[in-house]
């Protein structure tokens, strides 16, 4: 699949240019081990490596590869304030601008976070973007254009789609908090009275699955797709929930699997945000202080402590490297596991 950048500006190109990485990468952070089971996931000498820096606010990493129809293996990620999707290529160890604009195509100022947030691939390997400024979920087409997948619920515009996960049947589950609105929940442009979790069916039907979460954010399925995990980035209720997925695609009663509100109150940087799952059902969830690693039984096994607000993560390389967007940095860590679906 050949992709091209959209409406690239000279200023953006200058911003995106970066020197090649040194042969020895700097390390950042530490591993906090709380359960012996973590040793089967992260080796004792595992290091957090910084592969790129200098961004405004990184989000939504996704690995694209030749096996999914792309021309090369690379990491794509959003720089939300700069309304850009960036690309890190291991082949030349450099950063380039992939797409701009990434989330807002308007002509007036649209707040501090107008760009795309989460990025994912659909079952056909096409890039899907959750766009703040345009308030829609869009797909990047082969000719470089954006196709709207959904931008409203029952005729009312979405708030600012944040993150999503595809079910194997082609349905897209996604979250819609207020973070992309210039004045967030108080923005006069807001049309919905809730912040929802939705299911977009392959036939285009949009279903509101729940509006019980105050700030739904990161989202992922268990490997067997029987459970949907959703992060809530509310500083007063910084939690992760698990929802059973019913046969018709709707959700059952939720269960709180972990509450990190105390860590937020202590001043640890970040909130529950993006999350990913490995093939064994372990959950890697960004939260206060870094990436929380939960076992399939939801017990906290440890944390990858990044010392930064950590927004999201993605599996890459052969599926065993966890790439993380940590504020202005992009980092990675080698694991002893592989992501679900690899």
Q: Are 234 and 246 in contact (CB under 8 A)?
A: no
* Residue 141 to residue 145: CA distance in whole angstroms: 5
- Residue 270 forms part of a structural domain: yes
Q: pLDDT band for position 28 (50/70/90)?
A: confident
Q: Which residue has the higher pLDDT, 5 or 341?
A: 341
pLDDT of residue 21: 44
pLDDT of residue 5: 40
Q: Which residue has the higher pLDDT, 13 or 124?
A: 124
| 3 state SS of 219 | strand
- Residue 340 forms part of a structural domain: no
Query: Mean pLDDT for the chain?
Result: 92
Mean pLDDT of 227-251: 98
Mean pLDDT of 336-342: 96
Mean pLDDT of 142-150: 93
H or E element in which residue 198 lies: strand 196-200
Q: What is the DSSP string of 121-185?
A: E-TTS-EEEEETTTTEEEEE-TTS-EEEEE-EETTEE-S----EEE-TTS-EEEEE-STTSTTGG
- Residue 285 forms part of a structural domain: yes
Q: What is the DSSP string of 320-335?
A: TEEEEEETTEEEEEE-
- pTM beyond 0.75, yes or no: yes
CATH number, domain with residue 233: 2.120.10.30
Is it the case that residue 9 has pLDDT exceeding 70? no
State the total domains in the chain: 1
Q: pLDDT band for position 68 (50/70/90)?
A: confident
Mean pLDDT of 98-119: 96
Mean pLDDT of 63-70: 91
pLDDT of residue 14: 35
Mean pLDDT of 267-287: 98
- Residue 15 forms part of a structural domain: yes
pLDDT of residue 25: 58
pLDDT digits (tens, 9 = 90+) for 161-191: 999 999 999 999 999 999 999 999 999 999 9
- Residue 3 forms part of a structural domain: no
Is it the case that residue 18 has pLDDT exceeding 80? no
Is it the case that residue 326 has pLDDT exceeding 80? yes
pLDDT of residue 3: 42
- Residue 174 forms part of a structural domain: yes
- Residue 342 forms part of a structural domain: no
Query: Which range marks the domain in which residue 285 is found?
Result: 10-334
Mean pLDDT of 318-333: 97
Q: Which residue has the higher pLDDT, 69 or 161?
A: 161
Mean pLDDT of 139-153: 95
* Residue 292 to residue 275: CA distance in whole angstroms: 9
pLDDT of residue 93: 62
Mean pLDDT of 105-119: 96
Token pair, residue 266, equals 């202590």
- Residue 255 forms part of a structural domain: yes
pLDDT of residue 254: 98
């Amino acid at each position: 699949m050949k992709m091209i950048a959209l409406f690239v500006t000279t200023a953006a190109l200058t911003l995106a240019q970066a020197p090649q990485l040194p042969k020895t990468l700097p390390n950042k952070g530490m591993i906090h081990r709380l359960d012996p089971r973590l040793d089967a996931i992260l080796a004792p000498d595992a290091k957090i490596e910084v592969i790129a820096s200098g961004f405004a606010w990184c989000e939504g990493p996704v690995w694209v590869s030749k096996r999914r129809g792309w021309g090369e293996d690379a990491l794509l990620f959003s720089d939300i304030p700069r309304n850009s999707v960036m690309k890190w290529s291991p082949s030349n160890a450099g950063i380039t601008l992939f797409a701009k604009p990434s989330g807002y195509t308007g002509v007036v100022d649209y707040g501090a976070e107008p760009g795309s947030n989460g990025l994912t691939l659909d079952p056909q390997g096409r890039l899907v973007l959750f766009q703040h400024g345009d308030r829609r979920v869009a797909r990047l087409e082969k000719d470089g254009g954006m196709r709207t997948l959904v931008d409203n619920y029952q005729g009312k515009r979405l708030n600012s789609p944040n993150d999503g996960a595809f079910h194997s049947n082609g349905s897209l589950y996604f979250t819609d908090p207020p973070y992309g609105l210039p004045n967030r929940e108080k923005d006069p442009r807001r049309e919905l009275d809730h912040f929802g979790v939705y299911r977009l069916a392959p036939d285009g039907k949009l279903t509101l699955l729940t509006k019980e979460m105050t700030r739904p954010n990161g989202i992922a399925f268990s490997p067997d797709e029987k459970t949907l995990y959703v992060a809530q980035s509310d500083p007063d209720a910084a939690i992760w929930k698990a929802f059973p997925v019913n046969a018709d695609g709707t959700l059952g009663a939720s269960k709180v699997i972990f509450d990190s509100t105390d860590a937020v109150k202590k001043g640890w940087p970040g909130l529950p945000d993006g999350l990913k799952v490995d093939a064994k059902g372990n959950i890697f969830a960004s939260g206060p202080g870094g990436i929380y690693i939960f076992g399939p039984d939801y017990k906290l096994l440890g944390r990858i402590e990044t010392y930064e607000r950590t927004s999201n993560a993605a599996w890459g390389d052969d599926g065993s490297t966890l790439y993380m967007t940590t504020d202005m940095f992009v980092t990675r860590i080698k694991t002893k596991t592989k992501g679900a679906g690899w």
